[in-house]
Amino acid sequence: MDKPTNVRLKVSMEELELSEEKSLKAGKPMQIDKGRMVIESIEFDGTRENAKDYYFSESFENGLIGDLGQNKLNLDVTFDIPQGVYHPAEITLNLQPVDTPHSFTLRGTYNMPPIEETQLEFAFFENRESITLKVQNTNGNKKVLFKKGETKTLNIEVNLNQLFARFNPGSLNNANVTQEGNTRKIIVAPDQNEALYDKLVDRIDKSMRAVLK
């Protein structure tokens, strides 16, 4: 019997680095330093060369919570993948809100002229949303090898620079601001600042990678 590869699931978020031009347009740059992703279930679907294809799914009763600010999950998730060369191997993240209205949120700050600091919240996906990613190795090759008896990490990476590539932070100057006590806050969600939401929501899956390490 084939000895499988043991795979541990992880999440991470790459830091947002605004270009100088975008920062100047905004007056001062925005920062994103927190994020949250709620995963109801995962599915793995792999086409294996010279061997039987492999599929499995796993559900999480109370949600698998990815803390994108701390780059960690609330549960230790591991699974076995039969050895072999896969092309492609896909992992699907089924996002579903559990204890909050949205399943994917990003938080940070924006220095909004002339007021110094405004809290930011980007909130996506009120309903179940499936994101399918092709697994790649650290070189970006989507033909991936699961070696017999090895332990690997499958890292779900959120690249903020790709997500906000076409987003001008200066557009936040015209956003509707919510006052929460003494805190000024801009919420970008399906029902608040919709034009900004629409610019970003279709880029979320394009800003994510599944990297086998």
Question: In the structure, what pLDDT confidence band is assigned to residue 26 with cuts at 50, 70 and 90?
Answer: very low
Ramachandran region, residue 84 (left: φ > 0; alpha: ψ -120 to 50; beta: rest): left
- On whether the CB atoms of residues 98 and 39 are closer than 8 A, the answer is no
Tens-digit pLDDT profile for residues 102-145: 999 999 999 866 776 899 999 999 999 999 999 999 999 999 99
pLDDT value, residue 5: 95
Predicted confidence at residue 180, as pLDDT, reads 85
Give the per-residue pLDDT at 80: 96
Query: pLDDT value at position 116?
Result: 67
What's at 62, amino acid-wise?
N
